Amino acid sequence: MGRFDRQTVLITGAAGGFGSAAARRFAAEGARLVLSDIHAERLDAFAKTLDAETATLAGDIADEALSGDLVKLAADRFGRLDVAVNNAGIVHDAARLPQTPSDVARKVIEVDLLGVFYALKHQLPQMERQFRETGRGGQIVNIASVAGIAGAPKLAVYAAAKHGVVGFTRSAAAEYATRGVRVNAVCPSFARTEMALAALRGAPDQPAAEAEMTRGVPMKRLAEADEIVEVILFAADPKNSFMTGQALAADGGITAI
């Protein structure tokens, strides 16, 4: 029996990066999955590879209706929502703050910050209702970034959005601490996911670009997706029942110096 046997786990941004790696690990631990991604065909193809009861709903997390529909899908299909991993996000091209286009800034805020707000707005009442009815609420894990707990030169809007995610995490954790819901954030540095690899592929000298990307990381390397997923599962584990409101840095030592 796995740690999440028969628990319903909702993951956004599930077709790639941390989302797909997390979905595979939760499935291996016995979870039932509700998966979402903006790329419908990729999401459906990925879901078919999983050995788990799975429901999918594609859409843009910047649309509040999607968050409500995902919670309803979890409740209708599986009877409850035990874990939510709010992972969907985007990043803008590196540029000094004045050179960041305003329309790009608005989109990053809509996806990375308001997307988490919409998710929490719908997930928290469902989990609180479960707690009142059954004594079991739920766990929420927001995927922030090391840029959410430190500055990120040339990624100012992304950093601002991720700081906001940490703020939502801490505030929601305090509001729901006696209502059966734990809320934590995971704050990774650059990892070997498509988001980082796409940036490296666009560089004329990829080894030099990767060295620059990891220059401030004491471990001097990118994280592997599975290393970040380990932290996500730790935060979501129902046995980890006294930790809430935390921003867990998985950053190769960046915030240690």
Q: Which of 26, 158, 168, 176 is catalytic?
A: 158
Q: What is the 3-state secondary structure (H, E, C) of the chain?
A: CCCCCCCEEEECCCCCHHHHHHHHHHHHCCCEEEECCCCHHHHHHHHCCCCCCEEECCCCCCCHHHHHHHHHHHHHHHCCCCEEEECCCCCCCCCCHHHCCHHHHHHHHHHHHHHHHHHHHHHHHHHHHHHHHHCCCEEEEEECCHHHCCCCCCCHHHHHHHHHHHHHHHHHHHHCCCCCEEEEEEEECCECCHHHHHHHHCCCCHHHHHHHHCCCCCCCCCECHHHHHHHHHHHHCCCCCCCCCCEEEECCCHHHC
Is residue 158 annotated as a catalytic residue, yes or no?
A: yes
Return the active site residues: 158
